[in-house]
Amino acid sequence: MARIETRKGTFPHTEWVDLKGNGTLIEVAVIRRDENGNLYYFELNILDAIDRQRLFNIITKRHANSFQLWDLLSQHTLGNGMNALDYFHQLVKILTPSGSIIDPKSGVMGARAGVATVSQDYSKGEATEGQPE
């Protein structure tokens, strides 16, 4: 498994991440990290001045450190009347624990390479709560 290098950014919810594994750190806004180790992000260098200001206004609010960025964005309406999460979601990518970059879409999920867990062995006929016997 690749080790992804990250450094804390200047503002809340920003980090410098070696996205391509080539030693070049790129500043990103971290939407969230999930239980599988996936990093949901978008690059800040692709934003124009207006979008940078929009994001800056959201992440520098008083309680910005108390919530994940996806939650902050979902509670904010931009000046153009659009929900901030809907607006910035078009830019989101996922960095998997193995270092792959994928687009968020149905049916695709990043997982730690070589790690598989089985919650129940149904071949032995063991019943669990909520499963018909």
Whole-model pTM?
0.74
Task: Centre a 10 Å sphere on the Cβ of residue 79 and count the other Cβ atoms it contains.
Answer: 9
Over pLDDT 70: what percentage of the chain? 77
Given this model, what pLDDT does residue 123 score?
57
Strands 26-33 and 39-43: antiparallel
For residue 110, CA distances in Å to 5, 7, 16 come to 18, 22, 20
For residue 62, CA distances in Å to 59, 66, 71 come to 9, 9, 14
Q: Does residue 1 carry a pLDDT above 50?
A: no
Q: How many CA atoms lie within 13 A of 130 on its CB side?
A: 1
Domain boundaries, the chain: 6-124
Q: CA 58, CA 100: separation in Å to the nearest integer?
A: 28
* Token reading at 86: 């809907």
Radius of gyration, alpha carbons of the chain: 18
Q: List strands edge to edge, sheet with 101-102.
A: 6-8, 14-17, 26-33, 39-43, 93-95, 101-102
**For residues 89-105, average pLDDT:** 88
Least trusted range by pLDDT, from 44-48, 74-78, 96-100:
96-100
